[in-house]
Amino acid sequence: MPVFKLVAECPETKARAGILSTPHGDIETPVFMPVGTLASVKAMAPNELEELGAEIILSNTYHLFLRPGPEVISKAGGVHQFMNWKHPVLTDSGGFQVFSLSDLNSVSDMGVECRSHIDGSPLFMSPEWAIEFQETLGSDIAMCFDQCVKYPCSWSEAEESVRRTTLWAERCLERHKREDQLLFGIIQGSTYEDLRLRSAQELLSMNFPGYAIGGLSVGESHEEMYRILDVLKDILPVQKPRYLMGVGHPSNLAEGVARGVDMFDCVLPTRNGRTGTLFTSEGRLNIKNSQYRLDFSPIDEKCNCYACRNFTRAYIHHLYRSKEILAARLCSWHNLHYLVNLMKQARKAIISGDYPAFLSSFHASFNERKSF
């Protein structure tokens, strides 16, 4: 039985609406997936994520391996039971930590010798390690162990990353045994079109049930990101889900959907929420600005999230000035709702045949350079 069903496709763009089936439920795509690095989406309870419409969340293999560790997760019965989340979970492989914690590690074809960012204790990460622990976690979707390179990087550095990512993908596929868990391959190649195509072709030959595009949103411009997505959109299998990793800017989501991407994730909505930066239908709003002290309108007149239905800009501004925890919670709630709902609206537009008009309307109202 196919795990992904294509429901509709825009005839003018590559935008797709689909259904991704997992053991913990179906996911309607395109979808934004909140990030719960340590089995918790920061500032949000599981029932609140359900209320705002989240269908799937992420957790992090590297961080959960260090804390609480395999023994605790195993005895809890897996990551779903541990955090009381009844819906799908995707776990990344720890490959991004090879990139983000590069000062603490040494990479070879065998794997990654590194030290814990918590206490400096040694850890060896490998494709086999990543698969074994993700199977212990029991996530619905597991990711291959890959090597992401910095931006900018030389062609030779990117080529080495592609070669190693393919090698590691083969080992992940060989080790992966859990039949109730999907394993996605990850395409690398930085901003080099030939390497992206090569990485994709090598992974396509392994017939993964889904494919992720890694190594973007690491410093390159939006235009460079879109160029790489344009290169890949026509060669990835139509009947398999496509996941753009670590991307959460509203414009990137809307344009990514137009290029055939089905799944997105990012820490941006909760990170911005903790600093008082909010996504609105017009652009970014910094609720800490003094102009909101006497503003008794909602965060966004066009939003129906819990924060916008119940509280004013003035109140949330007060919470930040008073250093109340509720400020970060309400702003994280709003930002997550904004991105989750953006993808739900995109899906409706694709199914109704109106995605080009939806995209045009989005860009006309959302000014990514506007901050107020």
Render pLDDT for 119-169 as a digit per residue (tens, 0 to 9).
Answer: 989 999 999 999 999 999 999 999 999 999 999 999 999 999 999 999 999
Residues 6+ apart with CB under 8 A from 8: 16, 17, 350, 351, 353
Q: Which residues are catalytic?
A: 92, 265
Question: Does pLDDT of 252 surpass 70?
Answer: yes
Q: What is the mean pLDDT of residues 34-38?
A: 97
pLDDT band at 73 (very low <50, low <70, confident <90, very high): very high
Asked, as a colleague might, if the bond just before 127 is cis with ω within 30 of 0, I would say: no
| CA 121 vs CA 20, 105, 128, 129, 137: distances in Å | 39, 12, 20, 16, 22
**223-245 residue pLDDT tens:** 999 999 999 999 999 999 999 99
Q: What is the mean pLDDT of residues 289-310?
A: 98
The residue among 245, 247, 244 whose CA lies nearest residue 259 is 244
pLDDT band at 102 (very low <50, low <70, confident <90, very high): low
**210-227 residue pLDDT tens:** 999 999 999 999 999 999
Token pair belonging to 4? 């992904």
Q: Rounded distance, CA 174 to CA 360, Å?
A: 45
pLDDT band at 105 (very low <50, low <70, confident <90, very high): confident
Q: What pLDDT is stored for residue 104 in this prediction?
A: 67
DSSP H/E element including 265: strand 263-266
Q: What is the mean pLDDT of residues 4-12?
A: 97
| CA 272 vs CA 42, 49, 220, 266, 369: distances in Å | 11, 17, 20, 11, 16
Q: Break the chain into its structural domains and give their ranges.
A: 4-266, 274-372
Helix (H, G, I), strand (E, B) or coil at 120: coil
Q: What pLDDT is stored for residue 1 in this prediction?
A: 61
Q: What is the mean pLDDT of residues 344-371?
A: 93
Q: Rounded distance, CA 185 to CA 103, Å?
A: 26
Question: Does pLDDT of 103 surpass 80?
Answer: no
Q: Rounded distance, CA 70 to CA 68, Å?
A: 7
Q: What is the mean pLDDT of residues 277-306?
A: 97
Helix (H, G, I), strand (E, B) or coil at 364: helix
| CA 323 vs CA 42, 269, 317: distances in Å | 17, 19, 10
pLDDT band at 370 (very low <50, low <70, confident <90, very high): low
Q: What fold characterizes domain 4-266?
A: TIM Barrel (3.20.20)
Name the H helices within 19-141: 46-52, 61-66, 70-76, 79-83, 95-100, 127-137
First to last CA, the chain: 49
- Cβ atoms of residues 123 and 106 within 8 Å: no
Query: How many other C-beta atoms can be found within 10 angstroms of the C-beta atom of residue 299?
Result: 24
Q: Rounded distance, CA 345 to CA 337, Å?
A: 12
DSSP string, 297-343: S-S-TT--SHHHHH--HHHHHHHHHTT-HHHHHHHHHHHHHHHHHHH
Lowest mean pLDDT across 91-105, 147-161, 273-287 = 91-105
Question: Does pLDDT of 322 surpass 80?
Answer: yes
